[in-house]
Chains A and B, each alone.
Chain A
Amino acid sequence: MYGLFPLLASANWNSPYSEEGVESQVLYSSFSGRPKHLDPARSYSSNEYTFIGQIYEPPLQYHYLKRPYQLEPLGAVEMPKVTYLDQQGDPLPKDASIEQIVYSLYEITLREGVQYQPHPAFSPVDEVLLDRMEQLSDFPQPGSRTLTADDYIYQIKRLAHPAIHSPIFGLMTEYIVGLQGLRDQLKEARKESPEQWLDLRKFPLEGVERVDEQTYRIKIKGKYPQFLYWLAMPFFAPMPWEVEQFYERPQLKQKNITLDWYPVGTGPFMLTVNNPNRKMVLERNPNYHADFYPNEGEATDQAQGLLEDAGQPIPFLDRIEFSLEKETIPYWNKFLQGYYDASGISSDSFDQAVQLSGSGEAQLTPEMEQQGMRLQTSVSTSIYYMGFNMADPVVGGTSERARKLRQAISIVVDYEEYISIFANGRGIPAQGPLPAGIFGHQAGEAGINPTVYRWQQGKPVRRSIDEAKALLVDAGYPNGRDAESGKPLTLYFDVTASGPDDKARMDWYRKQFEKIDLQLVIRNTDYNRFQDKMLNGSAQIFLWGWNADYPDPENFLFLLYGPNAKMEKNGENAANYSNPEFDRLFEQMKNMENSPERQQVIHQIMAILQDDAPWLWGFHPKNFGLYHRWYRNTKPNLMANNTLKYARLDPVERNKMRKEWNDPVLWPLWGGGLLMMALVVPAWLGIRRKERQSLRVEVK
């Protein structure tokens, strides 16, 4: 009834929410598209991690406040114990050489007494009543049980399940012993009975061992220190076999009640409303184990009030409501009205929200400051780059001619200008593949790309067009023409540019190449054809990007590792770059602990890459986040997926501000009514007059 009679209700007329929860710890957020998968073995997108990161608990997590990013136990009681083994399986000393290490053994001991969220899978299911169950909440008396090591083992086996299509299966077969063999067994078993549920407990996996109720071991091939980072991702979260069996019932599948849509975990929140077409709701898990806000962080955290809740039990929030919001304009307006607690900044609203100070620093506009908002920025652990296909006869290869051509192009494509025009200044021109915050990234003069920049007056300055032209002459293309044939050099740029801003963007790229008289032909194509071109190596210059899985230089530099070439191996090396010296140094670096020695190797790697210029390093995007004054404990953490448990609100303040900002304005309604009257009355009088005239004619 409240919906029909907002006048009678105390809520604001334009509130998109009901009165319930107005003054409690309910966070209001949004999602722009429905998540595709919420199964932790399958999900691999940030929009999906927003949900499952709060529900599933892998063995490790990232410390919320400390930087550089640091792993700490989550499902585990302590950090995993790593033992290196030789071919016979005998332990090796910690400082054993990489050649000696045949296997690494990770022993993980779990917290005791951790319970799953209440769920009907843990209670006996009345099969007769199944047809009547329309949603999970219809099941009576949901149960729970204690987390065990078997659940973690079960999930690792799920990575090999042929029907789950885990995106990291291919990668993990290179490391987890026996994973490929398990896949083959499961495939065979599915051939025999495709529709039947496979109880993975019956299928052994050589590389995973249960030690006791609380402890398990993972055996991986060789040495792979980055494996710890994978243990902080939902792929390695626990999965009870009962849950998988529960969701396999056809009656539930028909109602879209599947494990891929209804996660079950031990985390601080549980998904209670799952309508991806409208609303998703996370509620506090009543069985959540003891967990506390961190006691320490960075030096500046205390001053920013981020340690005020130190040692307090978490989570603070009772409920998080995510509403589907596809368009940025309504989202932004609702944020300004206080109906969303935080917001990113789209280009439409950038000027309204942010202005640049004299020193180029982004700061809030007076209007936003008046509303008490807080701006937080962070350089994302991503890179958007322009790549050269190194297998291409013109721009690729290791010849001096091609290298100098690439270097010349690297100079003329002015990414400072690009960031300013197309990203509202939200980006950092990249000096190499490693963004700030990743070990190996060097700030200042030591970190600049000398091929493209000079260090002048304390900052990098892009080299001149004349220098680029000189390089082009050295490459044998004076004035953009082939010195031998005299023909103009035409280069081809393969893109999937279908957005509204893309024409301007492509024109901009073309103009950059024209600075040194190079002709750039844009070959615009759809996503599928573009993928084909990349796979068969027929693209010449292309745009690509990468978002880090974990904060280690290996996760960026492997994008240039020869054996990962896209053309031959369908790997992630989209440029098909191959340099034996780089490959050797990469192999050395990837197994090293973070240390000055590792930094030195990375420095050598950077020098090779910057000279070879297989990519125009492009830029690292900068994230801008706006928070209302009542939203506490926010610190950008680009690696952690479970940050909502640290968030706290002041709902009284929020309610007060919402009322203040949303008082109904009624005078235009009265004005509109008068205007209508002014239009209707003469018309009505006209009708009356006309009717009377015709009557008079009739009487005569």
Chain B
Amino acid sequence: MLNYILRRILYAIPILVGVNLITFFLFFVVNTPDDMARMQLGMKHVTPEAIDNWKQERGYDRPLFWNDAAAGAGQATETLLYSESTKLFRFDFGVADDGRDIGGDIRERMGPSLAIAVPTFILGLMANITFALLMVFFRATYLELSGVVLTVVLMSISGLFYIIGGQFVVGKLMHLVPISGYESGLDAFRFVLLPVAIGVISGIGSGVRWYRTIFLEEMGKDYVRTARAKGLPEGRVLFHHVLRNAMIPILTGAVVVLPLLFMGSLITESFFGIPGLGSYTIEAINAQDFAIVRAMVFLGAVLYIIGLLLTDLSYTLVDPRVRLS
């Protein structure tokens, strides 16, 4: 297994180099450092000298890919691409254009994102699987039909509606929880209650239908018939045998997103005033802060690769037939 993991890590390197190159190209070729300078220096009294000075201070006045003025290896290393990329592979994200340390900001904003994303993910998964199993249990009855209609209705509603509606009903009309805001520590509980509940409910429609499909597929298999023939109660067949055998498709969808949970959710965090990472990248794109965008894209790629690796590893845990070689 160790060999497998090492091999996968080696495969990741060219992917990350590619991601870095594309991000670099998009930001520095499509969007020039002059553009960035103008955006950073504001609308008023921006002189050409101020733009040159801004670029010089950040080293953005260096050649992008090849430095003819340098000698030897310096032609490649004394360039913006090399200097920016090597730092990234050391996980040194540097500072944003407003002078803040990006690593520090990511660490600080990761917590609130996780405070929302982890409970939403766990509770959502549990709710989806439970409801899907119950629908399968009551298949071909009015309960299943009602469930299908309900899930279709739930998945047809925009996520934004759940948020605004939830804030209106629970926060504004019933006065049960704060409409938005965040506090650290135990005080966070009453602030995350509503966004987590909304996150779970808004995901039920599509989640339940997806798991129901998986379980129905499993229900048609021989081992289920055998279990029933042996006289096992239907509940045991479903919650014990079917659930265990459906773990591979469930894990495929679930484990891969685990590392990405900390990247947060843009809309939820914006509406609930959660100081997470959800809007960090979008804000940076709007502000043309290349340093942040590059760091977040790189980090996202790393996490996605980790997620895929974890998914593969998790298969061996739930299915003894799977061997990693």
The residues of A with any CB-CB pair to B shorter than 8 Å are: 1-4, 6, 12-16, 18, 33, 36-37, 44-45, 162-163, 165, 167-171, 253-256, 258, 260-261, 275, 277-278, 323-327, 329-331, 333-334, 336-337, 339, 527-528, 531, 549, 570, 572, 662-666, 668-669, 682-683, 686-687, 690-691, 694-695, 698
Contact = CB atoms under 8 A, between A and B. Distances in A.
10 contacts: A4-B190, A13-B190, A33-B283, A165-B53, A167-B42, A170-B46, A278-B273, A323-B273, A329-B271, A664-B176
Interface string B175-191: 11111111101111111
B320 interface: no
B173 interface: yes
A663 B175 contact: yes
Given A258-B99, A683-B138, A691-B235, A664 B175 contact: yes
Contacts of A253: 101
A6 B167 CA distance: 18
A329 B167 contact: yes
Interface of B: 31-32, 35, 38-42, 44-50, 53-54, 56-57, 98-101, 104-105, 108-109, 112, 134, 137-138, 141, 143, 164, 167-169, 171-183, 185-191, 231, 233-235, 270-273, 275, 279, 283, 287-288
Nearest to B104: A256
Contacts of A664: 174-176
Contacts of A324: 273, 275
A354 to B, nearest CB: 20
Contacts of B98: 36-37, 260
Contact of A255 (B101, B178, B180, B188): B101
B interface majority secondary structure: helix
Contacts of A12: 175
Contact of A690 (B112, B182, B234): B234
Contacts of A698: 231
B174 A665 contact: yes
Contacts, number: 175
A215 B53 CA distance: 33
A330 B99 contact: no
A326 B46 contact: no
A682 B178 CA distance: 35
B139 to A, nearest CB: 11
Sorted from nearest, which 4 A-B pairs have the closest CB atoms?
A3-B187, A16-B181, A170-B47, A277-B275
A267 to B, nearest CB: 22
B108 A277 contact: yes
B164 to A, nearest CB: 6
A45 to B, nearest CB: 7
A333 B234 contact: no
A256 B173 CA distance: 40
B100 A330 contact: no
Given A3-B183, A6-B190, A333 B172 contact: yes
Given A167-B46, A326-B279, A686 B138 contact: yes
A453 B44 CA distance: 32
Contacts of A277: 105, 108-109, 275
Contact of B273 (A163, A330, A572): A330
A3 B176 contact: no
A168 B169 CA distance: 49
B47 A570 contact: yes
Given A163-B57, A337-B175, A337-B179, 15 more contacts: A4-B186, A13-B175, A162-B53, A167-B44, A170-B45, A277-B275, A278-B273, A325-B180, A327-B271, A330-B171, A330-B179, A330-B272, A333-B167, A334-B178, A570-B46
A699 to B, nearest CB: 10
Nearest to A172: B45
A325 B182 CA distance: 11
Contact of B105 (A37, A256, A682): A256
A572 B45 contact: yes
Contacts of B271: 326-327, 329-330
A665 B173 contact: yes
A691 B233 contact: yes
B177 A14 contact: yes
Contacts of A694: 231, 233-234
A254 B104 contact: yes
B45 A14 contact: no
Given A165-B54, A325-B273, A686-B141, A13 B177 contact: yes
A666 B173 CA distance: 10
B283 A44 contact: no
Given A333-B171, A686-B141, A570 B233 contact: no
Given A2-B187, A162-B57, A329 B164 contact: yes
Contacts of A163: 57
A572 to B, nearest CB: 7
A405 B298 CA distance: 53
A256 B283 CA distance: 18
Nearest to B283: A33
Contacts of B234: 690-691, 694
Nearest to B101: A256
A653 B164 CA distance: 30
B178 A570 contact: no
Given A36-B98, A167-B50, A170-B47, A278 B134 contact: no
Nearest to B102: A256
Contacts of A2: 187
A549 B43 CA distance: 12
Contact of B31 (A1, A14, A528): A528
Contacts of B40: 165
Contacts of B38: 528, 531
